Amino acid sequence: MDEEKILTESTSEESAPAQESPEGAPGGKKKFSERLKKAGRWLGHSQLKAWLYLLPALVILAIFTVYPIINTVRISMLEDYSFLKEKGGTEFLVNFNNFTNVVHYRGFLTCMGNTMLLTVITVPVSTMLALLIAVGLNSIKWLKKVFQTIFFLPYVTNAIAIGMVFKAMFEIIGPVNSPSSVGIINTIVEAFGGSAVNWVNEGSSYWANMAVLIFFIVWNALPFKILVLLGGLQNVNKQYYDAAKVDGTSRFRIFWRITVPLLSPMIAYVVITGFIGGFKEYTSIIGIFDESLMGPPGSIGKPLNTMVGYIYGTINNNQGRASAAALILFAVIFVVTMINLYVSKKRVHY
C-alpha cells in the first residue's frame, strides 16, 4: 500500500505534462502496466541508493519487530501451542480458541477493567496538571531552570525504585493509629486531623490501592508531558499575549481561548501517547506492590493486575493465550488511538 502511495507521488511529477496533453486520460488514472513500467524505472535509478541506506534498519526491524508480530498472530491462532512441542514436530489445531478462552477468563475482565480505569483517570488528570504546571513554569522567571529540573527528575528515575519509595511513604507499620508507625502520607493525614488509612499494607482495600496507584502514575507521567507542553509554550509568539493584553482579555480567557488552542497539537500528542502508555501500565504496580500483581496479601476485593501484567503472567504457561491477549490489547489501543485521532482532527488547530 505504502509503496504504491510513494510511487504515485514520485511519478506524479513526470506524468504532469502527459496529463495536460489532450490525449491524457481523464482523472489522471493510468493503466496498471504503465505504472509497473514507471515503478521499474523508479527503482532502477534514483531511489536504489536510499533503499541501500535503509537496509540495516530494515533488517533489524524485520527480525525484531515484523517477525515477532507475525509470529504472535500465528501463535494466537494455534490451540495449546508450545515452543518445545512445535520443535518436537507436533501439529496444532488452527482456531480461535485462545481468544475465546482469554475473554471468558474471569481474571481477564478484571485486568481489562483495571487498565481502563487507570488510563481513563490518569491521562486527563496528568494532562491537565502538566498543562497548569507548564503554564506556571513558563510564566516565572526566577528559579525556572531549578523547577524544570525538579519536575523532570521522575522521568530519569527508575519506576521500580520510585514505586518502593512510594510504598514507604504510604506505609503503615504495626497497628493503625499509633503515631510512631505510619509513613509520611499518613502522618500528614493525621496532622490534619484525619485518621491513618491503610493504603498499601495487608488488608488494604482495592480503592485505597487504586488511589495510590493513580497518584503514582500521574506523578510519573507528568515530566514528559510538562516537557512537551513547555516546549510548545515557548514556541508561542509573545505577541498573541500582547494583543490579548491590549484587548483586556482576562487570564482565564487567555488560557482557554489562546493558550490551549495554540498548544492543541502538543496536547493531542501528549494525550494520545498517554493513552497508549496507560494501556501498557505494568511496572508501577510491581514497584508499589509485588510481582504477584494481586495487590497486597490478604487485601480485600479484586486483584490489581493489568493487561500487560496478565500477558506476562500467562506467557510461561500458555503462549497461545498470551499472544491472543496481546492482540486484543493491541486492538483496544488501536481503536482508542483512532478515536483520539478522529477527535483531535476536529479539535486541534495546526
Partner 1 sequence: MKVVLQNLTKIFPSRNKNDKGGEVVAVNDFNLEIPDGKLIGLLGPSGCGKSTTLYMISGLQTPTRGKIFFGDDDVTKLAPENRGIGLVFQNYALYPHMTVQQNIMFPLQNLKGEQRLSKEEMLKRANEVAKLVQIDEYMQRKPAELSGGQQQRVAIARALVKMPRVLLLDEPLSNLDARLRLQTREEIRRIQRDTGITTIFVTHDQEEAMSISDYIVVMKLGVIMQTGKPQWVYDDPANLFVAKFLGAPPINLFAGMVRAGKLYIGEEDVLDLDGVEDQEVYVGIRPEGFLLAEDGRLSCSVSGVDVMGRDVSVVSTNENSLNALVRSIISSDDAEAITGDTVRFNLKQHKVFIFNKETEKRVYFGRQIAAHEEMLQKMREEGQDYVTHTGPLPREADDKPKEKKQAPKTKGQIVLGFFKKIGGLFKKLFAKIKGLFTKKGAKSAAENEAPMSETEDAENTPKSED
Type of residue at 190: E
Q: Is 96 in the site for partner 1 (CB under 8 A)?
A: no
Q: Is 258 in the site for partner 1 (CB under 8 A)?
A: yes
CB of 272 to partner 1, least distance (A): 19
Given 246, 251, 298, 317, the residue binding partner 1 (CB under 8 A): 246
CB nearer to partner 1: pick between 65 and 250: 250
The C-alpha angle 154, 343, 234, rounded to 5 degrees, equals: 45
Read off the C-alpha cell for 247. 484587548
CB nearer to partner 1: pick between 177 and 234: 234
User: Angle 106-139/206-235 helices, nearest 10 degrees?
Assistant: 40
What are the residues facing 78 on neighbouring strands? Answer: 94
Read off the C-alpha cell for 245. 493584553
Given 85, 253, 256, 339, the residue binding partner 1 (CB under 8 A): 253
Q: Is 247 in the site for partner 1 (CB under 8 A)?
A: yes
* Alpha carbons 270 and 254: distance in angstroms, whole number: 21
Q: Is 343 in the site for partner 1 (CB under 8 A)?
A: no
CB of 256 to partner 1, least distance (A): 12
Q: Is 344 in the site for partner 1 (CB under 8 A)?
A: no
Selection from 203, 123, 201, 139 nearest residue 169 by Cα: 201
The residues, ordered by sequence, that sit 6+ positions from 43 with a Cβ below 8 Å of its Cβ are 51
For partner 1, the binding residues in 260-279 under the rule CB under 8 A are 261-262, 264
Q: Is 53 in the site for partner 1 (CB under 8 A)?
A: no
Given 202, 242, 290, 291, the residue binding partner 1 (CB under 8 A): 242
Q: Is 237 in the site for partner 1 (CB under 8 A)?
A: yes
CB of 154 to partner 1, least distance (A): 29
Q: What's the chain's length in residues?
A: 350
Type of residue at 300: I
CB of 258 to partner 1, least distance (A): 6
* Alpha carbons 74 and 71: distance in angstroms, whole number: 5
CB nearer to partner 1: pick between 8 and 264: 264
* Alpha carbons 125 and 30: distance in angstroms, whole number: 52
Q: Which residues bind partner 1 (CB under 8 A)?
A: 142, 237, 239-240, 242-243, 245-250, 253, 257-258, 261-262, 264, 349
